[in-house]
Amino acid sequence: MRKTSVILLSAATGAALTLFVTQPRSVLMGSSARAATSDTYRQLNLFGDVFERVRSDYVEKPDDSKLVESAISGMLAGLDPHSSYMDAKSFRDMQVQTRGEFGGLGIEVTMEDGLIKVVSPIDDTPASKAGIMANDIITNLDDEAVQGLTLNQAVEKMRGPVNTKIRLKIVRKGQDNPIDVTLVRDNIRVRSVRARTEGDDIGYIRITTFNEQTTEGLKREIGNLSTQLGDKLKGFIIDLRNNPGGLLEEAVTVSDAFLERGEIVSTRGRNAEETQRRAAHAGDLTKGKPVIVLINGGSASASEIVAGALQDHKRATLVGTRSFGKGSVQTIIPLGSGNGALRLTTARYFTPSGKSIQAKGIVPDIEVLQDVPDELKSRTDTKGEASLRGHLKSEGDEKTGSQSYVPPDAKDDKALRTAADLLHGIKATATGPTTTDKPANKAAN
C-alpha cells in the first residue's frame, strides 16, 4: 500500500514514494502501454512547439516561469474543481492555515470600504493586550496606507516572525484623533473550536474548521463543559454548519472522540491496494451523553466525514439541511524548494456504511429550514459539489443546492432550538416539536 499522508485539504508526501510506485510499471509495459506512452510523448512535443512559438512570437516578451505555471495550473484545473497548482507563496499560506498557528497579532479582520476593520481581537494576544477593539479601523501599517491593498496583502503584512514589531494607526469611533499602537508579534493559535452553555444543561460546541488545533480544542471544551454543568449536563450540540473542512486526520480524531469502536471512514484510490480504513479507539470523551450534530449546505469535506461517521453509528442525530457533498480527498505533493506544490485529488472517501456522499451530500435525520430575511433569500442557498464544473461523478442521482443560512441571533436559530428540544426529550418532526414521555437520552441515539 502506498504510504502517503492523505488529507482533505493539505498534507505532504515525498517524491521518492511516487517513484517507488511508478517505476515498476515501466518494466512490465505491453505493446498497448508502449503505444499510449508514444502518443503521450507526441503530445508533449506539441506542448513544446506551442511553448516555443509563444516565447518567440508573442507581441510582448513573456515570462517563461509564468507560462509554465499557467500550463500546469490549466492541466490540474481540467481534472476536477479541487485539484490545483500552488506556487510557493500559496503553499506557505496553506501550511499556515492547516497548522492553525502563526506569528502575528491576534486579530480577526475584514475589509470594509477599502480599509481593514477589526472583527474582534483574540483573547490573550498582542492585539487584545494592547486594547485593540472590535470595529476599530486600521488605516496604516508601519506608515504605509492600507488603502489599495487587498485583505490578503494586509494580513500578510501583519503576520511575521515572532518578537518583531509593527506599528498600526487606528481610527476608533468616538475618538477625535487616530491612535498609534506598536505591537510585538507573538505565536498565535487560531481557535477552530468555540463553546458555550446553552441554557443551564446543554454544552454547545462550534467547530469552524479542521486544522491541527481542532481535536485538542474539542477535548478541552468537552472537559470544560462537563465540569461546568456537572450532573445537569443533558448532552452536546456539535455545530458543523458552514464548516468547509480541512485535515482528514483531524476529522478522524474528532469522530473518535465520540465513538468507542467501529470504522470512521475509508478512502479508496484508483487502485484497490490504496484503500485505507480508519477505525475508532475505545474512549468516548462525552461518556455516552447524547449528541446532536448541526449541518447545512455549507458543511463540506471533513465536516461530512464527522457527520457521516456519527450518523452511521447512530451516535448522533443530525439536524439541519443536506450537506455540500464533497466526497473526495486531496493530497498535497511538494515540488521541491521554491516550486510550490500540487493539490491532487487522489481518492474518494466513504462513510462507515460504505456510502459515498460525492455530489450527493449527507441528508440530516431531521430537516430544519431557517426563516430567511427577504433581502437574503437569493444568497442563502449553497449550490453544492454537484453544481461545480468538472466535479467527480457520483453513482445514482446527484443533488444540488441546500440552505446554508444561520441566523446571527441564537434565539432565531430554528435548528439550534430543535437540537435543544431533542436533548430535553421533546420529539422533533418535520412539522415541529411534540412532547414525549421518552427519556431525553433516547432522542439522540
Residues involved in catalysis:
301, 312, 326
Cα angle for residues 133, 140, 167 (degrees, 5° grid): 75
Q: Could you tell me if 107 and 132 are in contact, meaning their C-beta atoms sit under 8 angstroms apart?
A: yes
Output the CA torsion sign for 107, 99, 296, 85: positive
Torsion-angle region of residue 292: left (phi > 0), alpha (psi -120 to 50) or beta?
A: beta
Residue partners of 75: CB distance under 8 A and separation at least 6: none
**Contact between residue 254 and residue 306 where contact means Cβ atoms under 8 Å apart:** yes
Please report, to the nearest 10 degrees, the dihedral formed by the alpha carbons of residues 386, 390, 394, 400 taken in order: 10
β-sheet bridge partners, residue 181? 168
**For residue 264, what is the enclosing H or E element?**
strand 263-268
Residue 230 is classified by DSSP as G
Q: What is the DSSP letter of 147?
A: T
Q: What is the chain's alpha carbon radius of gyration, rounded to the nearest angstrom?
A: 25
Distance (Å, rounded) from C-alpha 37 to C-alpha 364?
Answer: 47
Helix (H) or strand (E) holding 179, with range, is strand 179-184
DSSP letter, residue 9: S
Kindly provide the b/e burial profile for residues 315-339, where b requires at least 16 CB atoms within 10 angstroms of the residue's own CB.
bbbbbbbbbbbbbbbbbbbbbeeee
Pair 295, 320: CB distance under 8 Å: yes
CA–CA separation, 58 and 55 (whole Å): 6
Residues composing the chain? 445
| Selection from 275, 278, 249, 279 nearest residue 262 by Cα | 279
Q: d(Cα 222, Cα 258) in Å, to the nearest integer?
A: 11
Comparing CA positions, the residue from 274, 259, 263, 257 lying closest to residue 207 is 257
Q: How far apart are CA 369 and CA 43, in angstroms?
A: 51
